[in-house]
Chains A and B, each alone.
Chain A
Amino acid sequence: MKTEAPTRPTVGRLMWQQFRYQNKIFWRTPIAAFFTMVFPLMLLILFTAIFGNDVIEGLGVTTAQFFTPALAVFAAVSASYTSLAIGTAIARDNGILKRVRGTPIPPWLYITGRVASAVYLAFVAVVLMMAIGIVFYGVQLFPRTLPAALLTFLVGVGCFSALGLFVAAVSPNGEATPAITNATLLPVAFISDIFFPVQDPPRWMELAGDFFPLKPFAQSFRDAFDPTLAGSQFHWPQLAYLTLWGVVAAILAIRLFKWEPSAGSGSRRSRRRGKSGLETV
């Protein structure tokens, strides 16, 4: 029996493997790839077609200049929060997490590999969105704000990855998870100036928008592409607030995370349970 030289794989190598394979799995899951990469682009095309790409009154920027970064944030959140939550919950239902737990890979490393893949895919989604905006809709970039845009992206996506893992931790199964992520993300997106700029919103809506992490993320990111604003556009209070959300979500996710499928979750399990039940009669 031939074996390769017995050396323990390094952390870097294990991480690279996980990262690569999680990416592969993403691109081979058409529904995830569609909702993360294509769906936000469709919104951009629709919004600019509906509203026209003129300067929006009261904002001083074009429709595309406003929506492209906002929808880029939406795509990034879809790649981190939504995809990570659903992918992890389904992996648990299918017994993949349990299998992983029985292998030598350190659990934190496996989860980090998943998160690294989510951050990378979010980055691809954002670059794609911004590139389409620049090429087709005349969206402007400002070199002086790019560091702030990048940092905001990383902090925001880190925060929403932690939230995605938190949802995966508390969700009963993979079937319920898309409902949970959509029911949380979509209403919050509406009050966070993602789909349209709410002008003079009711007080409660403004407070609710400020409470959830999506608005600080979108606002900070969008301001980096606002031609009417000067300076480097680092929004430190917002970044700190996102970090706080992320840290709390990560702590809760770690405490509540389960590696084994809950009883009866997943269609494959229940099918087999019925089968073996018959056999013992």
Chain B
Amino acid sequence: MPAIEVKGLIKHYGDVAAVDGVDLTVEAGEVFALLGPNGAGKTTTVEILEGHRAADRGEVSVLGFDPSTGGRAYRERIGIVLQEGSVERELSIREALAVYGAMYPSRLLVDEVITMVGLEEKADARVKTLSGGQQRRLELALGLIGDPDLIFLDEPTTGFDPSARRQAWGILESLTALGKTILLTTHYMEEARRLADRIAIIDHGRIVAEGTPATLGGRDGGAVIRFSLPAGSTPEDLPLAGAKVNGSTVEVEAASPTRALHDLTSWAVQKGIELDHLEVDRPSLEDVYLELTRED
């Protein structure tokens, strides 16, 4: 049974369709990223799965529960890391983890969780004295304390500076290594690529592409060959169909790159031409993402 199964999910706010027919399947043990720009419907989707909001239409099954009616039994099995979570500022890290941990039937040991997120030195410090990054680690710890089968990570690094983001990824990677099912939302492509087994790109409340980081949006298909147009040659001289010239750079999308490269380099060697700036590239995840979420 998949951990998460969503069919035809729809949620309107007034006349605006925040989620407009989303289908999702997340297998148990999988790290799944919902990638999309701000306002794409990520948070609404996740909040429906968490049981914070009711869907207007569609079928939602998470760990076999309907989140809107799953109540206590459902919440005992999930861990939520809030986009902007917060804990009582007057408590220490250890106290916060103890009081929230006590709500779950099966829970991890407080000290172990503190070690996992690297807050050992701050264990007895009040929450209000923590830095932003330390507070986010505490959020993570709170998401883990109930030993959940499924963890929701809603934009875990939004608002971080690049070095803090890299640090957070390190912690999240250790989290993904636990083998728990994780649903991650993010608007950072790099984050989805690094952490997720599978990615769905969401835009205007719809899933526009889905796949592994390597195959998403047909990235595993062709390649792009780029080089500088050799002096004295015109695009018509080239042994390649569909070459586009951009300034002095030639760009060719090749369905079978091996063949195309062979034709190109044989031609160049024969003519005694050096192809400057020759490179073969697959469309980056960024290219795919920008293409799919482009504002028309």
Residues of A within 8 A of B (CB): 1-9, 13-14, 17-18, 21, 24-25, 28-29, 91, 94-96, 98-99, 101-106, 260, 268-269, 272, 275-276, 279-280
For A8, give the chain B residue with the smallest CB separation: B105
Q: Is the interface of B mostly helix, strand, loop or mixed?
A: loop
Does A99 contact B82, Cβ atoms closer than 8 Å? yes
Known: A8-B105, A9-B102. A280 touches B142 (CB 8 A): no
Query: Measured between alpha carbons, how far is A96 from B91 in the docked complex, in Å?
Result: 12
With a CB–CB cut-off of 8 A, which chain B residues contact A7?
105
Does A14 contact B103, Cβ atoms closer than 8 Å? yes
For A102, give the chain B residue with the smallest CB separation: B80
From the candidates A3, A94, A104, name the one contacting B147 in the complex (CB within 8 A): A3
Does B159 contact A272, Cβ atoms closer than 8 Å? yes
From the candidates B75, B89, B107, name the one contacting A102 in the complex (CB within 8 A): B75
Query: Measured between alpha carbons, how far is A279 from B165 in the docked complex, in Å?
Result: 14
For B73, give the chain A residue with the smallest CB separation: A104
With a CB–CB cut-off of 8 A, which chain B residues contact A101?
52
For B89, give the chain A residue with the smallest CB separation: A94
Task: Name B64-83 residues within 8 Å CB distance of A.
Answer: 72-73, 75-76, 78, 80, 82
Does A3 contact B82, Cβ atoms closer than 8 Å? no
Does A104 contact B103, Cβ atoms closer than 8 Å? yes
Does B72 contact A104, Cβ atoms closer than 8 Å? yes
Does B38 contact A280, Cβ atoms closer than 8 Å? yes
Does B102 contact A269, Cβ atoms closer than 8 Å? no
Does B82 contact A98, Cβ atoms closer than 8 Å? yes
From the candidates B76, B85, B86, name the one contacting A104 in the complex (CB within 8 A): B76
10 A-B residue pairs with Cβ-Cβ distance under 8 Å, sorted by A, are A2-B109, A9-B102, A9-B104, A21-B88, A101-B52, A103-B75, A103-B146, A106-B72, A269-B84, A276-B38
Does B108 contact A2, Cβ atoms closer than 8 Å? yes
From the candidates B80, B84, B90, name the one contacting A272 in the complex (CB within 8 A): B84
With a CB–CB cut-off of 8 A, which chain A residues contact B20?
none
Known: A103-B75, A104-B72, A269-B84. A28 touches B158 (CB 8 A): no
From the candidates A6, A13, A28, A268, name the one contacting B102 in the complex (CB within 8 A): A13
Task: Name B131-174 residues within 8 Å CB distance of A.
Answer: 142, 146-147, 158-159
Give, as a whole number of angstroms, the nearest-CB distance from A270 to chain B. Answer: 11
Does A29 contact B90, Cβ atoms closer than 8 Å? yes
From the candidates A1, A5, A96, name the one contacting B88 in the complex (CB within 8 A): A96
For B113, give the chain A residue with the smallest CB separation: A1
Give, as a whole number of angstroms, the nearest-CB distance from B97 to chain A. Answer: 12
Does B187 contact A280, Cβ atoms closer than 8 Å? yes
Does A276 contact B159, Cβ atoms closer than 8 Å? yes
